[in-house]
Structure formats: structure tokens, C-alpha cells
């Protein structure tokens, strides 16, 4: 009986590599997303502290130039937060896209693996069928030989 050979083994290996590569892309996209979130949270924290500092300066009483400087500083920080929020949204979109591509690659690999499993089961069934044929043939020969031997002895 010949050895099992899955004809689409090269395609299955290609699908495995594609899934692995898509998984790597997803991991990197998620890492960039987390970095963008961290940067945005840091900028928000800095903006809140700047606002608190402005309130403190106002309470203590200060000149207009200092208040104007604080206002411009807070506006710059707010612009940075807004820019970083847009970056976070872009990174989230990239993560969703990468996740979709990974799921598609996984689905294609699983389809080929199911085909391989079905081919393996068919191969095993065929092997069992061939073994049963051999066993039946041996049993038939044994029975025939026993009958022939008993006829000679009679």
C-alpha cells in the first residue's frame, strides 16, 4: 500500500505561512495601536496638568502675558491630543483590517486542513478495505486448503 500523500500539501504550507504572516502583521498593528493610545493618554494628562497650572496661576494673580502663554500652551496641547486621537483611530482601523486579513487567512488554512483530514480518513478507509481483502483471501485460501487436505485424507 502506498504512503499517504496530500496533493495540496504545498498549498496548505503556503496557507500556513500566509496565516503566520498575517498574524505578525496583526501583532505589529496592535502594538502600534497601543503605543498611539499611550501617547494620547500622556498628552491628555499633560493638557490637564497645564489647565490646572493655568487655574493656579489665575488664582494667585498674574499678568496677562503669562495667562496668554498658558492659553497658547493649552491650545497647542489640545491640538496634539486631537492629532493623537486621529492617529489612534487610524491605528484602530489598521488593527481591524489586519484582524480581518488574519481571519481570512486562517479560514483558508482551516479549509485546506479539513480537506487533508478528509483525504487522510479516505486513505485509512482504503487501507482497511485492502487489509480486509487480504484477510478474506487468506481465510478463503485456508478454508480451501483445509477442504483439499481433508478430501485427500478420505
Task: Specify if 80 maps to a domain.
Answer: yes
**At 101, which CATH number?**
1.10.287.1700
Expressed as residue numbers, the domain containing 36 is 9-114
Stronger pLDDT, 49 or 2, i.e. the higher one: 49
Q: What angle, 0 to 180 degrees and rounded to 10, lies between the N-to-C axes of helices 9-60 and 64-153?
A: 160
Stronger pLDDT, 142 or 25, i.e. the higher one: 25
Specify the number of domains making up the chain.
1
Residue 148 — pLDDT band, cuts 50, 70, 90? confident
Contact between residue 33 and residue 88 where contact means Cβ atoms under 8 Å apart: yes
pLDDT of residue 66: 87
- pLDDT greater than 80 at residue 146: no
Other CB atoms within a 10 A radius of the CB of residue 22 amount to 20
Task: Specify if 61 maps to a domain.
Answer: yes
Residues 6+ apart with CB under 8 A from 19: 102, 105, 106, 108, 109
Contact between residue 54 and residue 105 where contact means Cβ atoms under 8 Å apart: no
- pLDDT greater than 80 at residue 151: no
Q: Is 2 helix (H, G, I), strand (E, B) or coil?
A: coil
- pLDDT greater than 80 at residue 147: no
Residues 6+ apart with CB under 8 A from 26: 95, 98, 99, 101, 102
Percent of the chain predicted with pLDDT > 70: 96
Return the exposure string of 93-129: e unless at least 16 CB atoms fall within 10 Å of the residue's CB, then b. ebbeebbebbeebbebbeebeeebeeeeeebeeeeee
Task: Specify if 42 maps to a domain.
Answer: yes
Task: Specify if 28 maps to a domain.
Answer: yes
Task: Specify if 57 maps to a domain.
Answer: yes
Residue 90 — pLDDT band, cuts 50, 70, 90? very high
Task: Specify if 71 maps to a domain.
Answer: yes
d(CA 96, CA 76) in angstroms, rounded, equals 30
Please, what's the largest Cα pairwise distance for the chain?
133
Between 69-73, 109-113, 149-153, the lowest mean confidence (pLDDT) is in 149-153
Task: Specify if 84 maps to a domain.
Answer: yes
d(CA 25, CA 30) in angstroms, rounded, equals 9
Task: Specify if 133 maps to a domain.
Answer: no
Amino acid at each position: 500500500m502506498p504512503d499517504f500523500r496530500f496533493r495540496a500539501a504545498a498549498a496548505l504550507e503556503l496557507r500556513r505561512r500566509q496565516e503566520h504572516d498575517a498574524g505578525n502583521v496583526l501583532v505589529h498593528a496592535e502594538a502600534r495601536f497601543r503605543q498611539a493610545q499611550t501617547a494620547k493618554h500622556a498628552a491628555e494628562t499633560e493638557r490637564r496638568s497645564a489647565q490646572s497650572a493655568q487655574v493656579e496661576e489665575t488664582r494667585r494673580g498674574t499678568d496677562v502675558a503669562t495667562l496668554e502663554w498658558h492659553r497658547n500652551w493649552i491650545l497647542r496641547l489640545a491640538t496634539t491630543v486631537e492629532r493623537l486621537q486621529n492617529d489612534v483611530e487610524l491605528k484602530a482601523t489598521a488593527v481591524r483590517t489586519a484582524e480581518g486579513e488574519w481571519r481570512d487567512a486562517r479560514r483558508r488554512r482551516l479549509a485546506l486542513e479539513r480537506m487533508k483530514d478528509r483525504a487522510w480518513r479516505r486513505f485509512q478507509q482504503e487501507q482497511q478495505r485492502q487489509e480486509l481483502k487480504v484477510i478474506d483471501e487468506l481465510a478463503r485460501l485456508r478454508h480451501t486448503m483445509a477442504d483439499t487436505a481433508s478430501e485427500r485424507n478420505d
